[in-house]
Amino acid sequence: EFIAERSKWVAEKTGAHLHHAGQYSLNPDELKSRVENMIGVAQIPLGIAGPLKVNGEHAKGLFYVPLATTEGTLVETYQRGMFAVTMAGGANVRVIKESLSFSPIFMLRSITEVPRFIARIKQNFDTIKGVAETTTSHGKLLDIVPYPVGRRVILDFRYYTGDAMGLNMVSIATHKACEHIMERSDAEYYYMVSNLSSDKKASFFNLITGYGKDVLVEATFPRDVMLKYLATSPEAFYDFWISVFLGGSQAGMVGMNGHFANALAAIFMACGQDVAQVVNASVGTTICEITSSGDLLMTLKLPNIIIGTIGGGTMAGTAKECLEVLGCAGSAKAEKFAEIIGATLLGGEVAIGAAMASGSFVKAHMSRRNISSHPISMSKHTGDQN
């Protein structure tokens, strides 16, 4: 009733009638903690791409990836790249580190007090850890790294958050720890946020230290696979990669990649993730090499994959269904989800790079302007999903 009242109010105030926004299958009672002033839902077209072969520790086998987007050729691009990855033997993926940063800043009276303040934090880490973890049954405080800035000291709290994205979890835990520190130190006051952790902002700090799950991905594309499925050679692809890497260096990019943000935004919207975290997650690097046998080796460094498979927007509706498509709904699935995302991004990088190297990128986008519907057949792409 409240949603209908708001929708009517919007129509009266703006003259717009929310016919499509007002039709949905979600139970509004499940969304009370996830949105305020609800007037309906925004519907985004949902595509599927695959098969994608993933050789991970948690994700093993063939997967079909849901992508929510309104960008023409996006699903087709990832479809082509995923098939090339699969025909090349799959993507090797590993989650090498997990830590979510939260960085309050403390004000001291003088720089002379800074060394003693830092020493006390290090000496009492176990106690502070215990205090922080009283607020959560899932989060674990891994470390507190001090960064003195004049008479201020930033304390970078780094947490393991398990299957939850965890930002609310770590903010509550850090607040509890900060209150404990204030009672037992000479700090004059503190602010909960210093911006060091750069939440939802691109930074070199997170590129270097990581923010969320730190993921590595690689695949070797044999020459015949590249010629047959990507219409370019390893040498042509490598030459293009060098060129855009130099251009990115000239621009001062934070991370060097083709279009990580494309798949991240599409997967995040499909699977109920915090879409604003695409800003962090898209900070990463694509690396290319020509092997001794003349094949193309691609490696991705993805230090900021901040995702969850429980909590937030993942538990109901289309988000839960899309996670179920991937076999990633619920507990003990976040690392698997991260590995699938990593392999998907690799598929996108090889596809867009090949399109650019072969000169077909603009032609593909121009052809889409005159095509109302372009089905991508998967009838030949068989295999069991794990």
Alpha-carbon distance of 221 to 297, in angstroms, equals 6
Q: Are the beta carbons of 279 and 201 closer than 8 angstroms?
A: yes
Catalytic hit among 17, 19, 20, 365: 365
CA distance 71 to 271: 17
Q: Which residues pair with 88 in a beta bridge?
A: none
Count other C-beta atoms under 10 Å from residue 164's C-beta: 22
Residue 274 catalytic?
A: yes
Which of 307, 306, 299 lies closest to 94 in space, CA to CA?
299
Q: What is the b/e burial string over 139-161, where b = at least 16 CB atoms within 10 angstroms of the residue's CB?
A: bbbeebbeeeeebbbbbbbbbeb
SS3 for 217? strand
Q: Which one of the listed residues 274, 335, 339, 349 is annotated catalytic? A: 274
Q: Which of 71, 76, 113, 321 is catalytic?
A: 71
DSSP 231: S
- What letter represents residue 258's amino acid? G
Is omega for the bond preceding 303 within 30 degrees of 0, making it cis?
no
Residue carrying the six token digits 């303040």: 117
The β-bridge partners of 67 are: 47
* Residue 365 annotated as catalytic: yes
Cα(147)–Cα(153) distance, integer angstroms: 6
CA-closest candidate to residue 133, choices 101, 177, 103, 182: 177
**Which tokens in the block code for residue 102?**
């939260």
The tokens of 89 are what? 């033997």
Residue 274 corresponds to which amino acid? D
Active-site positions read 71, 274, 365
